[in-house]
Homo-oligomer: A and B are copies of this chain.
Amino acid sequence: MGWLSHEEDCVEMTRTRSAPTISQVAAAAGVSRSSVSRAFTNPHLLSEETVKNVLRIADEIGYVPNHTARALSTGRYANIAIIVPDIANPFFPPMIKAAQEDADNSGFCVFLGNSNEDPAREDQLLARFLGQVEGFILVSSRLGEQRIRHYVERCPLVLINRDIKGLPRVLIDSGPGVSEAVHHLAELGHKSIAYLSGPKRSWSNTQRLAAVKKAGRELDLKVSVISTTTPSYQAAREVSARLINTGATAVISFDDLTAQGVIAGLSDHGLVVPRDISVVGCDDVLDAATHPSLTSVSSRSAESGRTALSILLDFLRKGNTGDIRFSLDTRLVSRETTARPRLP
């Protein structure tokens, strides 16, 4: 490991040759800059011959229209930004990937911002992107509503998993899936379950907690709630004692990561999943790739990205608005971490 220098064949990175400009093409082709411009953007305004000629020369010189200059004069940046709390959280990549792919197909480039769950950083990112994008997708934003509204005045913006009236938003509604999970547990014979809570201020957490409580009430189950400091694997692992003390025979955890933490924590106390305790995750980011494979509430993360992007592009094209609130429901994916409770 280290820095190696090869003297042989030092092609290396030299100072970058500056790109050919529209003027150079114009000069070489013997036409005005306008004509070159039009050859690229409005060829129907020019004679076929001129267009062909200009394009040929441009190609020879290696000219490519400068995105930035074009953006400045037209105001159409052909860029959008996606800001997420944590790229490394497996919940987000499928979403980013889907949105990015669709943006790409519409000729848009996408900026990616990682707020690290920090509102100040998120704010800074927004500000930095503001002058060079046509729109934002803000995922699970931690930013205050006032700040968000501030940015909306300047630039179109679509929220994912944040519910603010009047702003276009896509919400993954854990309700149905979580409710289904509770029913699933009840059917297996569980009487007492626990919910391992995520970040207090998170919209998803609120949703999930409410759904667990509601379904628990309807089915006459005992529902205990356990909180962690942060929704991490380690934090979840460490609350297992409290979890066991509740007497619950099944746990629904805020997300898949914490669910895995729970499984490890239970194991630390000699308990085996699902024999001794059943565990359900949320988001289904692991597919079936763990053993035992995790029963989880599917999150449709990719679809949310696609949907948000299409709302954004629709707005950019048609100016259409209205109070858009798109809700994606979820369902339970039943796998190997849930089973009948042990007989007492």
Give a binary string over A137-160; 1 marks a CB under 8 Å from any B CB, 0 the rest. Answer: 000000000000100111111000
* A88-B94, A132-B68 known; A14+B329 contact, CB < 8 A: no
Report chain B residues within 8 Å CB of A72.
68-69, 72
A1-12 Cβ-contact flags toward B at 8 Å (1 or 0): 111111101111
Partner of A77, one of B6, B68, B130, B323: B68
- Contact partner, A1, options B104, B112, B328, Cβ 8 Å: B328
Copy number in the complex reads 2
Taking A12-B322, A154-B17, A267-B291 as contacts, is the C-beta distance between A110 and B111 under 8 angstroms?
Answer: yes
When the two chains form their complex, are residues A131 and B12 in contact, meaning their CB atoms are under 8 A apart?
no
A71 on the B face (CB < 8 A)? yes
Contact indicator A290/B156 (Cβ below 8 Å): no
Q: Does A203 contact B (CB under 8 A)?
A: no
Q: Indicate whether A293 sits within 8 Å of B321 (C-beta atoms), given known contacts A6-B165, A9-B166.
A: no
Picked from B14, B71, B320, B324, the residue with its CB within 8 Å of the CB of A14 is B320
- The answer, yes or no, to whether A65 is at the interface (CB within 8 Å) is yes
Contact B88 A320 (CB under 8 A): no
Q: Which residues of B contact A153 (CB under 8 A)?
A: 16-17
Question: Is there contact, CB below 8 Å, between A131 and B68?
Answer: yes
Q: Is the CB of B6 within 8 A of A323?
A: yes
Contact at B131–A104, with CB atoms within 8 Å?
A: no
Residue of chain B at shortest CB distance from A134: B16
Q: Are B325 and A19 in contact (CB under 8 A)?
A: no
Q: Is A270 an interface residue (CB 8 A)?
A: no
Interfacial chain B residues near A129, Cβ < 8 Å? 67, 109
Residues of B within 8 A of A233 (CB): 287-289
Q: Are A16 and B154 in contact (CB under 8 A)?
A: yes
Do A67 and B132 touch (CB < 8 A)?
yes
Q: Which residues of B contact A87 (CB under 8 A)?
A: 93, 96-97, 100
Which of B13, B69, B130, B292 is the one whose CB lies under 8 Å from A321? B13
The verdict on A101 contacting chain B, using a C-beta distance below 8 Å, is yes
Q: A88-B97, A109-B132 are in contact. List 16 more A-B contacts (CB 8 A).
A: A9-B165, A10-B322, A13-B168, A13-B315, A13-B321, A14-B321, A19-B130, A67-B129, A68-B131, A79-B132, A90-B90, A90-B93, A101-B114, A109-B128, A233-B289, A260-B291
Residues of A within 8 A of B (CB): 1-7, 9-17, 19, 64-69, 71-72, 77, 79, 86-88, 90, 92-94, 96-97, 100-101, 104, 107, 109-114, 116, 121, 125, 127-132, 149, 152-157, 165-168, 173, 233, 257, 260-261, 263-264, 267, 287-293, 315, 319-329
Q: Can you name 7 A-B pairs with beta carbons within 8 Å? A: A12-B168, A15-B319, A66-B131, A97-B114, A101-B114, A109-B128, A264-B291
